[in-house]
Amino acid sequence: KLIEAGVRVEVQHHEVGTAGQAEIDMRFDSLTKMGDKMMVFKYVIKNVAAQHGYVAT
């Protein structure tokens, strides 16, 4: 969903030693574009989590 929304993901992996935590890194861009992409990123993550019965924080 992030790629469909125009957010390029550089890498994603689960965190070691913590249950249910993941890290998703975005490709860097200019400051203003990163600000816009961060808002889209948060929107997509929270909505996809909610669709599956989870809460992203």
How many C-beta neighbours within 10 Å does residue 37 have? 19
Say if CB 7 and CB 41 are below 8 A apart.
yes
**41 exposure class (CB count in 10 Å sphere: 0-12, 13-18, 19+):** middle
The 10s digit of each residue's pLDDT in 5-55 is 989 898 888 887 777 788 888 989 999 999 999 999 999 999 999 999 999
pLDDT at 3: 87
The Cα 22–Cα 37 span in angstroms is: 19
Predicted TM-score (pTM) of this structure: 0.78
pLDDT at 18: 72
